[in-house]
Amino acid sequence: MKIAIGSDHGGIHLKKVLMDHLAERKIETDDLGTYTEASCDYPDYAVKVCDEVVAGRAERGILVCGTGIGMCIAANKVDGIRAALCNDAFSTKMSREHNNANVMCLGERVTGPGLAVMLLDIWLDTEFAGGRHERRVNKIMAIEKR
Ligand code: RB5
């Protein structure tokens, strides 16, 4: 599995923690920035990561900003993306099992590194349940075609 990952300045430290953990798990990452602590605009990085996922160059994406909210709003504007803001274990698990989320959003100012790594593992290791959830996810994706 290859994961595209990005952050703004507000998420750069947590992004590094997540990348280190992914490396430990031998999961390939493509870091699309930001690369410095200089103030920048999170939608620019949301689009970079989501484009990789939609094009199939990465199987999934991870986005980190201060709260995770801006990244999540921006990512869900991209056709083909189902981004989930993951602050707790239950929502994180359900975002995969029920919503087949292909982008995980985290907030460095909200979620500490230990919990974030735990949530990342849950998100990586939970499969989409399909069945009735597939019908519902298909209805979400059909909204893009209206
Ligand atoms: C940047 O200050 C901050 O607004 C951003 O990281 C994020 O929290 C937006 O949702």
Q: What are 25-71's pLDDT values in tens digits?
A: 999 999 999 999 999 999 999 999 999 999 999 999 999 999 999 99
CB 6 less than 6 A from any atom of ligand 1: no
Angle at 28 between CA 26 and CA 33, to 5 degrees: 130
Angle at 4 between CA 112 and CA 7, to 5 degrees: 45
Work out the pLDDT band at 23, boundaries 50, 70, 90: very high
Distance in angstroms (rounded) separating the CA atoms of residues 5 and 90 = 22
Q: What is the pLDDT of residues 109-140, one digit of tens each?
A: 999 999 999 999 999 999 999 999 999 999 99
Distance in angstroms (rounded) separating the CA atoms of residues 38 and 77 = 25
Distances in Å between the alpha carbon of 18 and those of 5, 119, 142? 9, 10, 32
CB 67 within 8 A of CB 96: no
Chain Cα centroid distance, residue 10: 15
The ligand 1 atom nearest the CA atom of 67: 8
Residue labelled with tokens 């200089």: 38
CB 69 less than 6 A from any atom of ligand 1: yes
CB 66 less than 6 A from any atom of ligand 1: yes
The ligand 1 atom nearest the CA atom of 70: 10
This model's pTM is above 0.95: yes
